[in-house]
Structure 1
Amino acid sequence: MSVTSVLTKESSNKKEITIDFIESNISSLVESASKVIAPLWPISTFAARHPWMGLEKQSFDQVADWLKNSRDVDIYPSASMILSAKNKGEINEAFVKQGLQRWLDTNLHTFSLPRDVAERFCHAALGMEPIPTNLLSSVELMKKVEEFRERNKDTIDHSSIQPISSQIENQDRERLINILDYHVIKWCKLYLDDSQAGWEMPHREEGFYRSWHRLVCYDPALSKLQRESLKSWPEEADSALENALKALNISDAEIQSYLEAHLLSLPGWAGMMLWRSKQSNEEKTLLTEYLAVRISLEWALIHPYLPFRNNQLEKRESIPSLLAAWIHWGSLSLEEWTYMSGAKQQEYLLFAAKFDEKLCRKLWLEAWEQTHAEQLRQKIISNQSSNSEKDTALAQFVFCIDVRSEPFRRQLEKEGPFETIGMAGFFGVPIATNELGCTHSHPSLPIMNKPLHKIIESTEENELLSFQQRKQTVHSLSYTFKTMKQSLLANLLLPELSGPWLSLQMVARSFVPKTANRFIHNLRQAWLRKPKTNLVLHHVHQTEEGIPIGFSEGDKVNYARQALKMMGIIDNFSPLVVICGHGSQSTNNPYASSLECGACGGQSGGFNARVLATLCNLPEVRKELSLEGITIPAETVFVAAEHNTTVDELHWIYIPEELSDSAHAAFQRIEAILPRVSHQANAERLAKLPHFQSKQSKPKSEAYQLAEDWSVIRPEWGLAGNAAFIIGQRTLTEGSDLEGRVFLHNYNWQKDRNGELLDTIISGPGTVAQWINLEYYASTVAPHYYGSGNKATQTVTAGLGVMQGNASDLLTGLPWQSVMQSDNEAYHSPLRLLIVIQAPKEYVERLLKNNAIFQQKVQNGWVRLASVSPEGHWENW
């Protein structure tokens, strides 16, 4: 059964699909099946991805059950993670007991067990103490199990359809699906390669299926018989897919399930195909082509074994383990079991199957989340006494909502009369950026959106020409090195030419990484000498790739107005307003882009910060805004900076030539306190890194050491630990140590009477925060399936992503070092995102009524929701 059929329990009413229907609707079947995977972006444009984004119509618990039954993938935290959290005081056991009572109230009426017996069993099972192996294998236990089986048919089972190749072994006892995966990975790497390979896949321009069809008959990894069988295969992907499904004797009702099973076999490569299919019309059928290649190859591999019945994979609950559970946790003796009626024995086993280890871990997870929510509530309530209106701050800083901004903001606020504000880190300007000397632009906004404008960085013509020549020289050297490395003859000479320099570089980077990196960086900067630049903000009726260059006059005002409203500063401006993007730095790190903005495809936010600051300084924009009631004082100046999260420093990237006297005084004050802010933020952040020997006097030096050493596998924690998203005024949390675990977005309900701003925050930044949260969640609870393994052993492949070894799935999630403290202890707490909204109850009710997608996320357990009333009362929804 397909995932939608399994989860909604509608399979019994599903009508038979005719072959004619399949032939005319193969694309719709593929599209429906694709909901079980998520698009995968190239690692160079890494963006957090919600692995279950296509399944949100079902509840989190339903999806968890389906994944366990169909793929044996468990998405609840492991028992060891739960016990570790319990021992660290992160779980209040009172919430576990409350959850158990709610479950018994809802479910116990379907069983005839006495409540005290059921409670005793459940309480013991929640201890998650493993059942002794000697009990499971005891002769007496097995004797009782055999007696039960003779009297009763075992009906406690789950089933799911699996690829036929997973059920057949060759003469070497290797499952054919492993051989199939090997072939599919090889062809995917060839087709998707992004300029990493020296030789392109022939006929690649014809599409994946057609290029494969032309070449597969020459594949030496296939037998002659297998190659011959594919020679007469259809030339069109949809026809080939139909042929393969018919040849494998897949019934009409099982087709979608069968496609889902194959997509889930290599969700990384399939996810990359899905992403590519959404980027252009030329590749819109790419996922169909992928399935056509995969299932056609499967047919060729298993052809000698046909006919073969594709049995549903049955997973029966082990009666010995269920009976042992009652003996171990329910204090049931074998003698008591013997004198029970057959119906009562069946009842006991069914109850044990229902209240299994998975359900125990579900209750513990919910208690863990309740404990975190209660701890956050206490911090907010204890902070209410200080929630009073303040005078205009000396400077206002606008940071990204990223959780890494919170500790830096807190340290900054301690140092003076500074106000910090949170909003989405692209600052509301939907642009593609074209930096000086670059021939290509890149989107600089959340990947779920498309850029509406292109902003070009420019300089004087003679300076531009000189800079381009210097940059081309560097590019030419790099290109020549790569070309020689991939050339059959030139690579024999390459070691002689490059060996001394590369050896010296290796030694320097290994023993004095900071000095070596600084030297290389300074050498590069001295050679490039990037000139002073300006931004082309004025639209000049030119477009590139269908995107207008610059903004119209109306656009400038609209983006400035919307950004100021989202920040919540449409009055009471400080003399200096600092728009702060954020970026990171690390060396020899395939996942470097994951440490940039978690939403914007591995891009930093500095360019966007500069664009918005420049817009807000334009006299014509200020004039139009003043007519609408947003009056920016003449002495207020907007500047742009970038927060480097790896070393916790603030770098200025745009300062107007003229500052007002009050803005200049504010700037001087900031310059004076920034070293102290950086020192404190680094000391706090570095102390959380494992095995870090704190040198309190030199946290900045230690931070740079981690950022520039090419052997460091964890330069920073990134967004690990994220657990909540607070939408409200900074006074709600100011002064509270939120431990770098909370996304913070400013919001003033009094300036949002119709609720549009709140809906925009939930639909945009709220969705991004949820995706980030579930990316970290999945990589923690199921690292073998949703993570990417040890960073030290990853292989960058095809310029797209990473594998473990040379033939694995394209790994979709975060590396082990991004979520784990050690091999046995998690750093990231796998909690579903808690969204806290500071607004009256009726605002939240209106939001849920008008935003059906968000309401679905809350009801189905993909996010948690709470609100704080204007009077300071907390309410869970």
Structure 2
Amino acid sequence: MATTLAKPLHWEEIQEDLSLDIHELVKSASEVIAPLGPISKFAARSPWAGLERQSFEQTARRFKDICDIELFPHDSVLKSARDQGEIDVNFLEKGLQQWLDRHSFELPRAAAEQFCRVALTKDTPSSDLTAHPEVKRLAKKLSGFKYQLKARQSVKTLSQRFEKIGNGSVLRDLNRHLIKWCKLFLDESQAVWSMPNREEGFYQAWRRMASLDPALSLEERRQIKNLPKEADMALNEALSHLGIHPSETREYLEAHLLALPGWAGMMLWRSQQHSNESSLLTDYLAVRISMELLLMKPYLPLPTQGTKEDVLLESLIAAWFHWGNFPIKAWSQLPAAEQKARLNLAWQFDRIVRNKLWMEAWEKTYEQQLMEKIASKQQAGTEPKLPSLAQFVFCIDVRSEPFRRKLEQTEVFETFGAAGFFGLPIETFKLHSHHSHPSLPVLNKPQFKVKEYLPESQYQPFHERLQAVNSLQGTFKTMKHNLLASMLLPEVSGPWLSMQTLGRTFLPRRAGRAFKKLLDTWFRKPDVKLTLDRKEDPAEAKLPVGFSEEEKVHYVEQALKTIGLTDYFAPLVVICGHGSHSTNNPYASSLDCGACGGASSAFNAKVLATLCNLPHVRQALKERGISIPEETVFAAAEHITTLDELHWVYLPKLSDKAEVAYTQIQAALPKVSEQATLERIRELPSLKGNLKNPKAEVERLAEDWSEIRPEWGLAGNAAFVIGERSLTEACNLEGRVFLHNYNWKKDKNGSLLAGIIAGPGTVCQMINLQYYASAVAPHYYGSGNKATQTVTSGIGVMQGNASDLLSGLPWQSVMQSDETVYHAPIRLLVVIQAPKEYVERLLNQDRAFFQKVQNGWLRLASIDPEGNWKSWS
């Protein structure tokens, strides 16, 4: 076999040809990965947000070529859904007919239909059939057709190509080195000694330290020491010596980013957070590709591989034998045109197309079922309701739907849905915390900071108690990391930790209650106040603290209009944030509010309720057409999704009518909680058949530190309904639907609908695609078995100590068991209750949303004022 040495390219020539500098190329290549923030601020992101300019199918083919990742559900998942009645085969047949209509194969339609139908329902041909001597002989004869079937060859890195030859140690070693240095550089809490020179950037810190790395040879260390001082120059030089052609540079960078998308995603996230780290991803690629050159040098030049066809004719012939019942000997009797047509059909009707048709049938079946459910319950022409005794505003989170339904069954309460940050672009700073938290969708930046505070007379005693706890924690950490002190640590901490271990292991529910009571008694946290008034604070240079008077009115007005609550106010309006509660759970933040950046939305609820009670805000709202009755009081609560409980976080002085409402709420909540719990935990596999005391079981799940599935979270999410609550309030939506209130009659210019789609709609799509990705490619986009995860560097999880930084959800968040998927991997269906012209205006004005619909990243339907359902995708 002949060998060739890649000819080094002069980077000046490459830059001339590309008309983009290396930083622009890195930025462009970064579209194939998603920013990955620390797990403590876990926020859902679509892994493919930067690729929505191309279709979902094109992206699936691209990832199959580069990473060998399947982005459509696996055959076994689709078969299980079909067997459970979740896929109507009539939709599959309709999809097949539409696919055939779009293609021309110069083949009798009946023959093409028959082949495709069998291919959709029968297993793939066995390897024995593909390797059969007669199949191979026929393939050799038909090899003249190979040029007709060539697919685009994706760009592979040199280390990937070397692995294909059969010597895969370079790729493994390259990943191992990158993981080691990324862990050291990105560490936030675990390392005793920080990596030196981190402030100079990843490339500079690596270059200085790697030249001393005993895991490398003396020659390799010498070469690292002699690398260019600047990262972009090093990257340029490495690409040049590897012989990467200018036309392939971007794809070469993409392939390297996709090799470890978690660590690369963390570098991308950091580069977006801090201006002084804006070139961090360039640093990462400079390190990685310089290391690749270093490790590959002994093996260059690579042998030239023989001409290997992208499509093996053997598999196409075997497919016709297996699915088309077409004997191998019959090929010789066909004219050349029909031979070509049959091969072309088998090649184009590949696994990606087949699984795409099955998934689309699954999605259309769900859409049909949702349409029938809404139509059967819909009450057309319902008159506006009289004010209820109390109104609750919940987050659109799918977990709120069952709880809202149970509340509404009392017939004296009304519920609304809105994004859980309630339109407040704030960064929160809690009294007992050392750090602030952006409490809004991760796509947005906070514009204000709101702090909790206490009067000096109350603050000092609380601060002393807090300081005592922090001192104990700091002492424990210091002793743990000190060689001599760590030897004494078991004797010092043993009794307390042993008691905690025994309690949480054998009596988790009771132990959790006891520890909580102990901490509450010690802290005795008083009622805090909020910095809602604008204050000039020299220490806060980045964000203003509090709101101006005009800003208060603006955000309350905006929130009430978005919620759809501008008239018919009840005596008590409860703004309900939500959060979760679990123990020893690295993914705790993934169960909190996605609209608040992976934190509880109770803080935002309290801020909004407090603003709504301010007299001057109400007066200004009245002048703008929103008149809130004097007797109406706003309160705030937190919906604890793990426990199905509502906890009050802000309860001001109530009017007489609001007091009556509050009393009735308190009387109704135990039953509502019990009913919601009973419905929800039936779906948890660990509790099936054990429902004697549901309340005790969910409390155990929240406190048990060995529990791998404290709740299902947002698994099962499938649709986002934007419309009046009367459209869906009588429907059991099974906790699968995001619900946002919207009245098109109050939105003449379409601005409210546009805002819902751009904000909450985007968050819902990101949540949906993250669950989708974790279900279809758990080894790549998920985070594996929660029981074997390792929290690393204080920023994320790994499997073992040398894996990628895992970006998605644990196996237990999407799987019912090792064999059964719980989360149905289908794309989000957005349903808008509005006239057709409203939807058309939205699609014309919001090109990003139009692109998502057109390219299959989500699906769209609408319900007009007469109740007619229309599918737009």
Q: 2:471 aligns with which of 469, 476, 479?
A: 476
Answer yes or no: is 1:142 the counterpart of 2:136. Answer: yes
Counterpart CA distance in 2 for 1:19 and 1:312 is 31
2:828, 2:859 within 8 Å by CA — same for their partners in 1? yes
Moved more, 384-393 or 682-691: 384-393
Q: 1:132 to 1:262 in 2, by over 3 A?
A: closer
Answer yes or no: is 1:163 the counterpart of 2:157. Answer: yes
Answer yes or no: is 1:383 the counterpart of 2:377. Answer: yes
Q: What does residue 78 of structure 1 align with?
A: 74
Equivalence map 1:551-562=2 (5 Å) = 551-562=547-558
Q: Deviations over 1:84-135 (max 9, x none)?
A: 111111111000000111111110x2x2111111011011001042324443
Offset, 1:767 = 0.3
Q: What does residue 737 of structure 1 align with?
A: 732
Unaligned residue ranges in structure 1 (runs of 5+): 1-15
Counterpart CA distance in 1 for 2:130 and 2:323 is 13
Q: 2:185 aligns with which of 166, 169, 191?
A: 191
Q: 2:390 aligns with which of 364, 386, 395?
A: 395
Equivalence map 1:616-765=2 (5 Å) = 616-656=612-652, 658-765=653-760
1:780, 1:828 within 8 Å by CA — same for their partners in 2? yes
What one-letter code is carried by the residue in structure 2 that aligns with 1:102? Q
What one-letter code is carried by the residue in structure 2 that aligns with 1:215? M
Answer yes or no: is 1:546 the counterpart of 2:539. Answer: no
Offset, 1:814 = 0.5
Q: 1:453 aligns with which of 448, 473, 479?
A: 448
1:580, 1:640 within 8 Å by CA — same for their partners in 2? yes
Q: How many residues align?
A: 859
1:560, 1:615 within 8 Å by CA — same for their partners in 2? yes
Q: 1:154 to 1:846 in 2, by over 3 A?
A: closer
Equivalence map 1:287-686=2 (5 Å) = 287-308=281-302, 316-385=310-379, 388-389=382-383, 390-542=385-537, 544-656=540-652, 658-686=653-681
Equivalence map 1:20-99=2 (5 Å) = 20=16, 25-99=21-95
Offset, 1:258 = 0.8
What one-letter code is carried by the residue in structure 1 that aligns with 2:576? C
Q: 2:231 aligns with which of 231, 237, 242?
A: 237
Q: 2:850 aligns with which of 821, 840, 855?
A: 855
Answer yes or no: is 1:258 the counterpart of 2:239. Answer: no
Q: Is the partner of 2:730 in helix, strand or coil?
A: coil
Counterpart CA distance in 1 for 2:336 and 2:673 is 70
Offset, 1:249 = 1.2
Q: 1:153 to 1:424 in 2, by over 3 A?
A: closer
1:160, 1:312 within 8 Å by CA — same for their partners in 2? no
Moved more, 385-394 or 293-302: 385-394
Equivalence map 1:98-109=2 (5 Å) = 98-107=94-103, 109=104
Offset, 1:531 = 1.1
The normalised TM-score by structure 2 is 0.96
1:167, 1:175 within 8 Å by CA — same for their partners in 2? no
What one-letter code is carried by the residue in structure 1 that aligns with 2:97? Q
Counterpart CA distance in 2 for 1:47 and 1:422 is 20
Counterpart CA distance in 2 for 1:217 and 1:405 is 55
Counterpart CA distance in 2 for 1:863 and 1:93 is 21
Offset, 1:499 = 2.7
Q: Deviations over 1:445-501 (max 9, x none)?
A: 111111111111112212111111111111111121111111122212222322333
Counterpart CA distance in 1 for 2:563 and 2:399 is 18
Q: What does residue 200 of structure 2 align with?
A: 206
1:157, 1:317 within 8 Å by CA — same for their partners in 2? yes
Moved more, 346-355 or 747-756: 346-355
Offset, 1:361 = 0.7
Counterpart CA distance in 1 for 2:626 and 2:13 is 61
2:380, 2:867 within 8 Å by CA — same for their partners in 1? no
Fraction of identical pairs, as percent? 57
Answer yes or no: is 1:216 the counterpart of 2:210. Answer: yes
Offset, 1:507 = 1.9
2:362, 2:826 within 8 Å by CA — same for their partners in 1? yes
Q: Deviations over 1:220-251 (max 9, x none)?
A: 11111111111111111001101111111111
Q: 1:182 aligns with which of 176, 181, 185?
A: 176
Q: 1:39 to 1:17 in 2, by over 3 A?
A: farther
1:437, 1:464 within 8 Å by CA — same for their partners in 2? no
Q: 1:625 to 1:795 in 2, by over 3 A?
A: same
Q: Is the partner of 2:557 in helix, strand or coil?
A: helix
Offset, 1:386 = 6.8
Moved more, 418-427 or 61-70: 61-70
Q: Is the partner of 1:367 in helix, strand or coil?
A: helix
1:161, 1:313 within 8 Å by CA — same for their partners in 2? no
Counterpart CA distance in 1 for 2:66 and 2:327 is 34
Moved more, 318-327 or 340-349: 340-349
What one-letter code is carried by the residue in structure 2 that aligns with 1:37? I
Counterpart CA distance in 1 for 2:217 and 2:143 is 46
What one-letter code is carried by the residue in structure 2 that aligns with 1:39? P
Q: Deviations over 1:743-765 (max 9, x none)?
A: 00000000000100000000000
Equivalence map 1:122-133=2 (5 Å) = 122-133=116-127
Q: 1:84 to 1:169 in 2, by over 3 A?
A: closer
Q: Is the partner of 1:539 in helix, strand or coil?
A: coil
CA RMSD of aligned residues (A): 1.9
What one-letter code is carried by the residue in structure 2 that aligns with 1:556? K
Answer yes or no: is 1:278 the counterpart of 2:272. Answer: yes
Counterpart CA distance in 2 for 1:254 and 1:386 is 58
Moved more, 506-515 or 98-107: 506-515
Offset, 1:310 = 8.4
Offset, 1:344 = 2.9
Offset, 1:172 = 11
2:39, 2:795 within 8 Å by CA — same for their partners in 1? yes
Q: Is the partner of 2:446 in helix, strand or coil?
A: coil
Q: Deviations over 1:714-747 (max 9, x none)?
A: 0100000000000000000011000000000000
2:719, 2:831 within 8 Å by CA — same for their partners in 1? yes
1:128, 1:357 within 8 Å by CA — same for their partners in 2? no
What one-letter code is carried by the residue in structure 2 that aligns with 1:338? S
Counterpart CA distance in 1 for 2:20 and 2:355 is 45
Counterpart CA distance in 2 for 1:313 and 1:662 is 82
1:579, 1:610 within 8 Å by CA — same for their partners in 2? yes
Q: What does residue 6 of structure 2 align with?
A: none
Q: Is the partner of 2:596 in helix, strand or coil?
A: coil
Counterpart CA distance in 2 for 1:472 and 1:514 is 28
Answer yes or no: is 1:808 the counterpart of 2:808. Answer: no
Q: 1:115 aligns with which of 109, 115, 121?
A: 109
The normalised TM-score by structure 1 is 0.95
